[in-house]
Amino acid sequence: MQNLSSLQQQPELLKEIQRGIEREAIRITKDGQVALDKHPTVLGSALTHPNITTDYSEALIELITSPHKTVEELLMELHHVHQFVVQSVPDQNLWTQSMPCHLPEEKDIPIAEYGTSNSGTLRHVYREGLALRYGKKMQCIAGLHYNFSLPPELWQLLPIEGNTQQEKQNVGYMALIRNFKRYAWLLMYLFGASPTINGSFLNEEQKKRLTPLVEGEDHTYYLPYATSLRMSDLGYRNDAQSNLKSCFNTLEGFAQLIYDAVTTPWPAYEALGTQKDGKWIQLNGNILQIENEFYATIRPKRTHGRGERPITALLKDGIQYIEVRCIDIDPFHPLGISEDTCRFLDAFLLYCACTQSAAFPGTGQCKESESNFNKVVNYGRQPGLTLLNQDKDISLKEWGLALIEQIKIAATLLDKAYNTQAYSRSLDAQKTKLLDSTLCPSNQVLALLQKENNHFNESITKLSQFNTDTLRVVPLNKELYDKFLQQGKESIAQQEQIEKSDHIDFATYLQQFMDALKI
């Protein structure tokens, strides 16, 4: 807390904060089924377009903003990208939930394709490997990533160890991440919006194993007090990743963990091989194929060039920003996130950066944080729920209200910097959820389903239609629409150029890519 006081004299520094969004959504037909067509050509190349790509599945579109210095500019760009997509593909809607709609058989779920270039093939084969390891249905889960960076000058004001600016920045971001791990359960309570699952997502073994799940009408499953089943054990979890635990004490320690995971064979994966019937089925048989496979609620990040490995770039040039990965799609907002949520995340992350953050002793307290997180995603709205704070029981409500009061200092600083009261109002909005759990989006989703006789797919299909129509009703400015069209054409031309420039086969390219990993 004392570190925040050092910003009192220079609040203008906070105007240099940058934030960006990556929002995923399944493209669906008007009757709520997964769209089985290829990524629409009008949207450009998924390999090279700066704003519109695909995630794991061909049907799972990803809409990306550039970094922005204000929330208003951020949401304006996100709105424009959404408008262009839904107005360019009028016969489809965007699924407005993190957990997927009714899914076809595994074999019929299309894996994302990126053309014939080596870099495009690498992306596709990586996703083939994900399907092999986790199943294709997992590839249809959607989330929202919030990217956040603080100005370099800010780290100089904080009592952070380091001989150089970048060393201070690395230490500061890792401290932010540790505090995030301690308090991320609060985000799950406030913004978790996936307490339900369509039965088609679960296999028979999962249905037997996940006994707390309640079966509702029309093959809908739910946990009565859950906040985010997307972030529960139903997400990307398996035996290989179960031992990958990072408490983020140092950048070097995190990098070593990931390096070991992407270079260490896992017997079950190794036995599958990399090719079958002349077709690539995974990049390698290691615990992780590449760094991106590491499933985490938050990551340290650095932009890197084509072919450059993320971990190598991180260690060479240092942390540039952090990526928050645990935010559910807000089903009641056309963009998947509201202005209040963005502002609360800004204040929350600033608080995490400027508050004392001791290293985790061994793995003990990190386990405590993970236990709190898992408890809230499964039972967050349960009356009287208690968590552990340094081995002592504390009610979720009491701890949450105390955190809101502490984060308020960061919100006040942001208000001062931007000459607004919007950040303080965003905290007030979240405080009401702690006082009344029925206001949480996870409860509102269950209330909607109860109103619609618990028909998950039917209810969310209607909501998706409403949200998409909201984005279609006002035509995108012609100049902006034409700009996106041109961007799409240029991205296709860029992909074609990349394909023409390849002069080695994929096996050689892949080996060179793997050899580029150095720490």
- Select from 320, 267, 326 the least CA-distant residue to 295: 326
**Cα dist. 502→49, 120, 152, 166, 498 in Å?**
19, 11, 38, 35, 7
The per-residue pLDDT for range 81-124, each reduced to its tens digit, is 999 999 999 999 999 999 999 999 999 999 999 999 999 999 99
Element (H, E) at 52: strand 52-54
What pLDDT shows up at residue 208? 67
For residues 22 and 465, give the distance between their C-alpha atoms in angstroms, rounded to a whole number.
21
Whether the pLDDT of residue 217 is over 80: the answer is: no
**188-192, 308-312, 429-433: least confidently modelled range:** 308-312
The CATH fold of domain 2-515: Creatine Kinase; Chain A, domain 2 (3.30.590)
User: Average pLDDT of the chain?
Assistant: 93
What pLDDT was estimated at residue 215? Answer: 84
| Contacting residues for 334 by C-beta, under 8 A, at least 6 apart | 82, 96, 467, 468, 470, 471
- pLDDT mean over 178-203: 94
Would you say residue 192 has pLDDT above 60? yes
CB 70, CB 92: distance < 8 Å: no
Q: Closest Cα partner for 435 from 491, 465, 395?
A: 395
Give the residue with greater pLDDT, 190 vs 239: 190
- Residue 305 confidence class, pLDDT cut points 50, 70, 90: confident
pLDDT (0 to 100) of residue 212: 81
Residue by residue, DSSP assigns 144-168 as EEEEEE--HHHHHHS----SSHHHH
Q: How confident is the model at residue 365 (pLDDT cuts 50, 70, 90)?
A: low
User: pTM of the full predicted structure?
Assistant: 0.96
Reported as a single tens digit per residue, the pLDDT across 1-26 is 456 677 777 888 999 999 999 999 99
User: Do 84 and 480 form a contact (C-beta atoms < 8 A)?
Assistant: yes
pLDDT score, position 465: 97
- The Cα–Cα gap between 140 and 127 comes to 12
Residue 451's pLDDT is 86
Say if residue 259's pLDDT is above 60.
yes
Residue 390 CB burial class (10 angstroms; 0-12, 13-18, ≥19): exposed
Distances from the Cα of 379 to the Cα of 2, 109, 371, angstroms: 33, 31, 12
Q: What share of the chain is helix, strand, coil (3-state, %, to 5)?
A: 55, 15, 35
Cβ(262)–Cβ(517) under 8 Å? yes
Tell me the per-residue pLDDT of 430-474, one tens digit each, with 9 for 90 and over: 999 999 999 999 999 999 998 877 689 999 999 999 999 999 999
Question: Would you state the pLDDT for residue 306?
Answer: 75
